[in-house]
Each structure stands twice: as C-alpha cells, then as structure tokens.
C-alpha cells in the first residue's frame, strides 16, 4: 500500500496562473479530504468527498477554488488565477468511514 | 462552534525529559479525539485516537486521556528522545463531518 499519493510535490506558478493539484487516495477508502497548511493558519479544512460525492466545501474560497473527484482513484484541487496568499502546502487525506485520516506528503504551492 | 486549542506553539526539551502538550476542546457533545504527528516533508500521521468508549490512548510511549470534565486531551510521554522531534496536532472529529485541528505544537528535543 503506497499510501495517499499527491502530485506534484512542488509547484511554482506566477500570479494569475492556474494550478491543478492531484491526489490518489488509498484504495478502498471512501472519503477524501483536502486541507491547506500554512504557518499562520495551521491546518485549514477545504473540502471533502464521500464515495466521490461532494459533501462539504465550506472551507473553500468560493471564487477561485474548485475540487472534483471524477472517480474513486483520484481527486483534483484547482486554483484559478493564483495569488501570493494561496502559497501553502495543500494536503490530501483519505479515510475509511471518515475516521482516522491518512495524509499524503502534500503539494507545496508557491505563487510568485 | 466546535474547536480545539493548543496554546503551546513550541516546546524544547532535553532527552529523557517528561513531555506534556496541552490540548483543550470546546464542544457540546463528545467527539472522537486524535493526536497526529508530522515530521518534516511529510503529512500528519496518526499517533493515537481516543473515543468516549475507551477514554485513554497509548501509542509508542505517548499517552492521552479523554477528560470530559475539563474538556482536555493532553499528550504526555515519560521520557522523550531526539527522534520525537516533530509537530504534534490535536484534532477532534464528529461522524459525518471533517476533523478540526489545533494549531500544532513543535517539539524540539536536544541531546
């Protein structure tokens, strides 16, 4: 079991560009979560899916962020028109029955 | 709303010192409580989990007790090692929702 796989590990974008982050959850896990980690805010919840259906996106900035889970083997987080304040580590986690979270190593997004 | 508070941003100890990391929670019911540990370059990973059914979690020498009276879930270890240096997060969870994390406590253990 390779664990949760996130790609890329690092992404650098220019201000105003689009960034797409990928997550492959652990096979068999029914829930996928996205969090954002910064020094100032800590671990912020963004959104989550259960059995591929979006359940709660209350943490997502509405205007430029979107997340999808087109099949059980991957989820994407897309940020349009990236801004410097979007710079953070984006963490994906999967879980069985929404219990213990298994995190990937994260994608470090740097917006210049 | 439901929240978790970790007031200690950083703790520095010497090897074999006793570790105590404070975590308190605010909630109207009884969630499942977690401690996660994060090493550099990695995502958080489960250290231990406690429910209202078992009240205490023990893992790798770490221990935490669910105290409903004081709504606390402090993390303790009798004797820390340099390899315990990491960031520790307290989290709470209700079924059907997402986990809410504390701000984290960075532990540095010096030899």
Question: pLDDT digits over B52-79, tens only?
Answer: 777 889 999 999 988 888 888 999 999 9
Using CA coordinates, name the residue in chain B closest to A106.
Answer: B43
Transcribe chain A into DSSP letters.
----EEE-SEEEE-TT--EEEEEEPPTT--EEEEEEEETTTEEEEEEEEETTEEEE-TTS-TTTEEEEEEETTEEEEEESS--GGG-EEEEEEEESTT-S-EE---EEEEE-
Task: Give the B-side interface with A, CB within 8 Å.
Answer: 32, 34, 36, 41-46, 49, 89, 93, 95-104
**Mean pLDDT score, A57-85:** 96
pLDDT for A7-60, tens place per residue? 999 999 999 999 999 999 999 999 999 999 999 889 999 999 999 999 999 999
Mutate which: A55, A101, A102, vs B, most B CBs within 10 A: A101
C-alpha radius of gyration, chain B, whole number: 13
CA distance B84 to chain A (A): 19
Q: Is A35 exposed, middle or buried (0-12, 13-18, 19+ CB in 10 A)?
A: buried
Residue B85 pLDDT: 97
CB contact under 8 A, B104 and A43: yes
- Given an 8 Å threshold on Cβ–Cβ distance, is B102 in contact with A45? no
The pLDDT value recorded for residue A98 is: 63
Asked whether the predicted pLDDT for residue B95 surpasses 80, the reply is no
Q: Do A43 and B98 touch (CB under 8 A)?
A: no
The per-residue b/e assignment along A3-28, b for 16 or more CB within 10 angstroms, e otherwise, is: ebebeeeebebeeeeebebebbbbee
Sort out which chain A residues have CB atoms less than 8 A from B101's CB and list them.
Answer: 35, 42-43
Collect all residues of chain A within an 8 Å Cβ-Cβ radius of residue B44: 43, 91, 101, 103
- Nearest chain A CA: its distance from B41 CA (Å): 7
| Percent with pLDDT over 90 in chain B | 66
Quote the minimal CA–CA distance from A59 to chain B in Å.
Answer: 10
Residue A33: which of A63, A6, A64 has the closest Cα?
A: A6
């Amino acid at each position: 079991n390779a664990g949760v796989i996130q790609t890329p590990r690092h992404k650098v974008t220019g201000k105003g560009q689009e960034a797409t982050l990928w997550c492959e959850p652990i096979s068999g896990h029914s829930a996928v979560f996205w969090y954002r980690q910064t020094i100032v805010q800590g671990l912020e919840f963004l959104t989550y899916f259960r059995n591929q259906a979006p359940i709660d996106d209350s943490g997502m900035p509405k205007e430029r962020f979107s997340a999808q889970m087109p099949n059980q083997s991957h989820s994407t987080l897309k940020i349009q028109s990236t801004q410097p304040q979007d710079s953070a580590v984006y963490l994906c986690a999967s879980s069985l029955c929404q219990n213990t979270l298994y995190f990937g190593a994260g994608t470090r997004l740097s917006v210049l | 709303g439901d929240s978790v508070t970790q007031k200690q941003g950083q703790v520095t100890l010497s090897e074999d010192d006793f570790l105590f990391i404070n975590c308190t929670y605010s909630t109207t019911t009884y969630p499942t409580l977690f401690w996660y540990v994060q090493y550099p370059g990695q995502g958080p990973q489960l250290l231990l989990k406690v429910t209202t059914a078992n009240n205490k979690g023990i893992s790798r020498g770490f221990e935490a007790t669910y105290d409903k009276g004081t709504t606390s879930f402090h993390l303790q270890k009798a004797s820390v090692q340099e390899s315990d240096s990491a960031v520790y997060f307290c989290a709470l969870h209700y079924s059907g929702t997402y986990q809410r994390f504390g701000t984290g406590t960075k532990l540095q253990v010096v030899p």
